[in-house]
Structure 1
């Protein structure tokens, strides 16, 4: 895959490609309105809140000189059409998990989550101080985007299942909703993987169209209502240990803004990164207790399943190494993760283990 092929694919793919030129930004008495599309249905706990936080803060920080008009999934374009809408100019910016756009370039999942990848802390460390942001910008240039990390859900779960998973063979024929490289891993284990927008998952699980699903974590999952359908829940998963969310602006639009407004977008994205992460953390523990009280079983995958996840994950990541940019992103990401894990393992992990032992937590 070369960059020209990616550009052609982006220019031709999706319903947004019909727009041949950038949509004219909206102006009124010196004020400008930018349209933000998202991959989230309105009201999805945490993720829609993150997009709304960004829209509100940019508008407030510029005293309304730059107003963000948020369009949730389906209000202007479908959830998975957000990328093409912004690259073509049908919309000005998107808020999304970039692993939804693995079809545009295989390196995009590194800015959300990859199997056995980074926690939220590790992702932020790489992004702001390990070269991750510069590579994100280089990736965005292929498609005419200016991108920033703009949220994190914290550690996500292994998902909801109709039946327990006792061995890798239990994934054979299993209809499961999971995006990004995590979906490729389960496909290699024999699952029939579907990548559904968040707003469609409850109905698919309720109707039997899927046998299980990942989503986010206890708070968002409880709000989605999955506990009404099944009581089998795996709190720890392999695919999304700290998924980032991204804010991407059409680069021509971004470059046309005054420097002060460009800085506001960058700084609000960084603020949303921390705000969203802590929003999920502040709600997850109580939600997990409520789920348990409602009869939800909290299970762990056996070691044989974890090992199968690991083998398949390596196969998935290695298949893209012929792409030069993917390999540079992968190498940078893995080197930073190794450094972070070494330090955290010697400091925070040891401290927390001793704290929990002493305090009886």
Structure 2
């Protein structure tokens, strides 16, 4: 039996906790919800996480709690998922909350700020560092409650039609990039474009954008970016680990029985683990196929990274001066990152780097 699976008969096996069968009383209500995702069905890992989440909830409640999943555009466009939850058009949505930083900049940290923490550290901050409380505070005006449900890991830097050698090469580029990273790159002359995943390829193919980032090799291969832009850059410093959430209408959340709330939290943890483990499984082979097919892998040059890092600090500090909630969230995030980086450099990073050195020699 695999880890983190949800058992029929009411037993819920999550990453760390267990909801036993007697917790699902015979008198528990039958509930049917609709879930809108910000992603197309073709992205079987991200969209598949929503389907996996819904299956776990159904299994744990003997089908008393059913969640029907809809891809981006089937109910509302991908960038309007939070709006659909706020207005109770749907009960729940799967979406990256940094899509909505124009409404509340602190939501950048709900997904991941530029030059922020990796996926493991983010999850720790969310659960033990106050991240969940801060991000849900930011969601209060939108009548929504967030459940952590997945992470992409550190993302790639995207596909470019031309090489990027210096910061000047960024000037004037129309770049599909979501979240705070686009605001930072605008300081360096890029013209950011926020486009939902299913619409990116056509924009790149038509030439209405010059570059595009999405997630990583597996999803990028499915979306076909390599066919119209050959330079594949890394890392996606604007998404050191992008958290994804199930965002629930607050009134609907509050009305749920406590055991159903617990099951949603456990389903989020288990489906989220499935997501990052799936990406770790499929990304290496996808990257090899992309390179074999002609993609030219490039690291952002150090001068470009330094310019982006400085522009990030300037931008985040400017927002913090204007928004008390953003400032509070930033300070919490940065303090936590400093602590976990101090620790992981001691054993884990040294160990990984040693193994990498052996792999390169081999």
Partner of residue 180, structure 2: 181
Partner of residue 329, structure 2: 329
Deviations 1:207-260 (A, max 9, x none): 111100011001111111111112210132321111000111101101111111
Deviations 1:126-147 (A, max 9, x none): 1111111121232222322111
Deviations 1:262-286 (A, max 9, x none): 1111111111221111111111111
In 2, Cα distance between equivalents of 1:81 and 1:162? 29
Partner of residue 290, structure 2: 291
How far did 1:358 drift?
4.1
Partner of residue 352, structure 2: 352
User: Which residues of 2 match residues 69-80 of structure 1 at below 5 A?
Assistant: 69-80=68-79
Asked if the contact 1:111–1:149 (Cα under 8 Å) also holds between the matched residues in 2, the reply is no
Partner of residue 6, structure 1: none
Partner of residue 315, structure 2: 316
User: Which residues of 2 match residues 145-294 of structure 1 at below 5 A?
Assistant: 145-294=144-293
In 1, Cα distance between equivalents of 2:301 and 2:119? 25
The alignment status of 1:115 with 2:114, answered yes or no, reads yes
Which consecutive unaligned segments of at least 5 residues does structure 1 have?
1-28
Asked if the contact 2:109–2:135 (Cα under 8 Å) also holds between the matched residues in 1, the reply is no
Asked if the contact 1:43–1:49 (Cα under 8 Å) also holds between the matched residues in 2, the reply is no
Which consecutive unaligned segments of at least 5 residues does structure 2 have?
1-27
In 1, Cα distance between equivalents of 2:166 and 2:314? 19
Asked if the contact 2:125–2:131 (Cα under 8 Å) also holds between the matched residues in 1, the reply is yes
Q: Mean alpha-carbon deviation: is it higher for 42-51 or for 182-191?
A: 42-51
Asked if the contact 2:234–2:300 (Cα under 8 Å) also holds between the matched residues in 1, the reply is no
Deviant stretches of 4+, over 4 Å: none
Partner of residue 15, structure 1: none
In 2, Cα distance between equivalents of 1:183 and 1:42? 25
In 2, Cα distance between equivalents of 1:136 and 1:266? 16
TM-score (norm 2): 0.89
Partner of residue 138, structure 1: 137
Partner of residue 42, structure 1: 41
How far did 1:355 drift?
2.5
In 2, Cα distance between equivalents of 1:50 and 1:114? 22
In 2, Cα distance between equivalents of 1:357 and 1:227? 29
Partner of residue 11, structure 1: none
How far did 1:96 drift?
0.6
Matched residue count: 333
In 1, Cα distance between equivalents of 2:234 and 2:280? 14
TM-score (norm 1): 0.89
Asked if the contact 1:171–1:189 (Cα under 8 Å) also holds between the matched residues in 2, the reply is yes
